[in-house]
Amino acid sequence: VPTFKLVVAYDGTQFHGWQVQPGQRTVQGVLEEAMSEVLGVDGIRIHGAGRTDAGVHARGQVASFSAATRVPAIGIRHSLNRKLPDDVRVTASHEVSDAFHARHSARARRYAYRLLAQDDVLLRRIAWRPPRPFDAEALAAAVAPLEGEHDFISFRAAGGTESRTICRMATAKWSAWEGGVRFDVVADHFLYHMVRNLVGTALAAASAPDPGAAMRAVLAARDRRLAGITAPPQGLCLEQVDYAEESS
């Protein structure tokens, strides 16, 4: 039975997140349904690299599945895109080794969180305007302490069940985009609501006299109560998932 890897992009606005839930429109649900039609096989289970929440977007979500089919990988992509609604696109499909699993094989994930400097009706579906103005330099100082290996449990929302709370964060930096500033963050794995909590905490720390020290204090405390608010979902996008060469 061959195994396939898909790269999936979606506008999360109209989805109740990635994961299948009875009675809800989810990306996994829509994909599995389209896949069953394309391959003529019922009950295909698709595994995603990241379980994005309701309203969160993806440009580079990765999904894997195994199915007894002779349809070539490229044909699966084109057939799926014909069945799928406009707000989900399969941007790549490959046959991969049997050992490949979208979540377990992932080495790193890259997320982006976009802030609006002012309200913008064109960009508000993909970005968040915080209630107070922000200072780009203070935000940069606030996230500088995050790079490296740390216990990020202070940034895990209630309901998170990850047993390993230490993450290796390769990148945590802000850059300019059309609407304001954008937080790019790369790590081996992420805890529940971690990126959105990092953004909320960075905004709070940016108002402190020493934004870097304020962030270090939250990180060291290992206490969710010290972190800032959870930034809303629409600013978040799963941009990319990386794998070791041999597994993808």
* Structure token digits, residue 142: 């606030």
Q: Which helix (H) or strand (E) holds 6?
A: strand 3-10
Report the 10 Å Cβ neighbour count for 172: 22
Does residue 53 carry a catalytic annotation?
Answer: yes
Query: Cβ(21)–Cβ(75) under 8 Å?
Result: no
Shortest reach from residue 11's CB to a second copy, in Å: 5
From 236, 228, 159, 231, select the one nearest 191 (Cα to Cα).
Answer: 159
Query: Cβ(184)–Cβ(171) under 8 Å?
Result: yes
Under rule CB under 8 A, residue 9 binds a second copy: yes
User: Please, which of residues 23-62 interact with a second copy by CB under 8 A?
Assistant: 57, 59
| Residue 35 or 123 having the CB closest to a second copy | 123
| Residue 191 or 237 having the CB closest to a second copy | 237
Q: DSSP E strands: which ranges in 97-179?
A: 106-116, 148-151, 166-177
* Structure token digits, residue 214: 């304020």
Stretch that binds a second copy, among 8-16, 36-44, 72-80, 157-165 (CB under 8 A): 8-16
Under rule CB under 8 A, residue 151 binds a second copy: no
| Residue 9 or 76 having the CB closest to a second copy | 9
Residue labelled with tokens 């606030």: 142
Point out the catalytic residue in the list 11, 53, 87, 98: 53
Q: Alpha-carbon torsion 223, 138, 212, 55, what sign?
A: positive
Stretch that binds a second copy, among 20-28, 69-77, 113-121, 147-155 (CB under 8 A): 113-121
Under rule CB under 8 A, residue 177 binds a second copy: yes
Among 178, 210, 223, 246, binds a second copy (CB under 8 A): 178
Among 5, 11, 69, 190, binds a second copy (CB under 8 A): 11
Shortest reach from residue 121's CB to a second copy, in Å: 4
Under rule CB under 8 A, residue 126 binds a second copy: yes
Q: What pairs with residue 95 in β-bridges?
A: 4
Phi, psi at residue 45, to the nearest 5°?
-105, 125
Q: Which residues have a catalytic role annotated?
A: 53
Interface residue list for a second copy (CB under 8 A): 9-11, 57, 59, 86-89, 91, 119-126, 177-178, 237
